[in-house]
A and B are shown apart, each in its own frame.
Chain A
C-alpha cells in the first residue's frame, strides 16, 4: 500500500513536471523582439537584412567622406536616416525605448554615442515647438547609458 502511494506520488510529480514543461514551451520559444515605433518612411535605401548587419559600416564610411572630403550625398547620410526613421509619436529616433535606434540598441545592449552630438530629430525646430512637451534628448535610454552619473 505504501509502495502504491509512493508510486502514485511519483506519477503525479512527473505529470506535473511534464505539464508545466509543455505549458512553458511557448514562453521559451517566443522571446520578445524589440518593439519599434513606426516612422514616416516605407522603404529603406537598402535591403532590411543588409541594413541590420551593415548599417554601422555604411554610416562610418559616409561620415568620413562627408567630414573629411565634403562629399554630401544623401543615400547613406545619418541626417536622412533620422528624417525617415524618426517615430511618429516622439518625432525622434532615440527619445524613447521604442524609437528606431533605441529599440534595437537597448535590446542588444549595444551602446552608441551618435546622439551626443547629432540631432535625433529631423529639421529645424522653432522655440515654440521646443516648449510643447517634445521629448527631451536627455531622457533617451541611450544617452543615459553613455553618460552615467549625470544629474538631470
Chain B
C-alpha cells in the first residue's frame, strides 16, 4: 500500500472490514482474538514434493546450551549413526564452540547441512547424485553416488561425511551404506510425514526451544514470524548461497 491509499478512504475501510469478515468465516474462533485455521495437513503419499514450499530452520544460539548435545544424539538415534566423532565417522550434525578471542565470550551452536538454495555440492557432483529436492531439502541419491567426495570438498560448512566401512542393521527408513557420501536430510522421512526433524523435536521436548523448523515460503509459519521479529544471519553469507538454516545471536 503506497502513500496515496493511506488516507482513511471509505473504500479502504470497507475493504478492511470485508477482509476481517472473511477471516472470521474462514477460521473458527477459539478465543477472543484467536483464530483457528486448521492444522497444516501433510502432503498425500502420491503427491510429489512441491516448490511451493521451502523448508528452513532458525537456530537461536542464545538458547543453545554450552555442552548440551540433545540435538546431536537425537539425530544419531533417528538416522542410525554411531555417535563416534573420529575422522572416519559420519556426523550429520555437530556442536561447534566459537570463542571471541578479544572478549573471551564463548558460544555453542549446532552446525549441519545448511540446505542452500544454490548448493555448491550439487554444482560439483559429476553424476547428479547430489541434488536439491523441489522443497529445498538437499540430499544425496545413493543410487547414483560414486563416492568421489567432490561435494565434501565443495561444502563450505563441512557438512558431509563419507561412509568408509560396510554397515549393518540400518534403520529401514534411512538407508545408508559404504562408498556413499551422506549428510543431514532434515529427517526427510519425518518431514514427509509432517513431523519435525529429530534434532528440532529433541531441542523442544527438552525445553531449550532453540530451533524452529518450518516453511520459508509460508508467511504464517512460526519460522517466518520469528525471522521477521529479530535479526538473523546466514553463516558465510558472503558466498551468497541463501542457506535454509539461519542463526540468531552470533
Contact = CB atoms under 8 A, between A and B. Distances in A.
A121 B221 CA distance: 38
A70 B135 CA distance: 9
A142 B175 CA distance: 17
A99 to B, nearest CB: 15
B139 interface: yes
Q: How many interface residues does chain A have, given as a range?
A: 20 to 34
Contacts, number: 69
A67 B48 CA distance: 10
A72 B46 CA distance: 6
Contacts of A143: 166
* Chain A residues touching B, majority SS: loop
A103 B135 CA distance: 40
Given A82-B172, A118-B175, A122-B172, A68 B166 contact: no
Q: Is the interface of B mostly helix, strand, loop or mixed?
A: loop
Nearest to B129: A67
B47 interface: yes
A73 B167 CA distance: 27
A121 B175 CA distance: 12
A63 B143 contact: yes
A147 B166 contact: yes
B48 A117 contact: no
A65 B45 CA distance: 11
B134 interface: yes
B46 A71 contact: yes
B169 A137 contact: yes
Given A119-B169, A122-B172, A137-B169, A68 B141 contact: yes
A123 interface: yes
Contacts of B170: 117-119
Nearest first, the 4 A-B pairs at minimum CB distance are: A117-B177, A70-B49, A69-B48, A117-B175
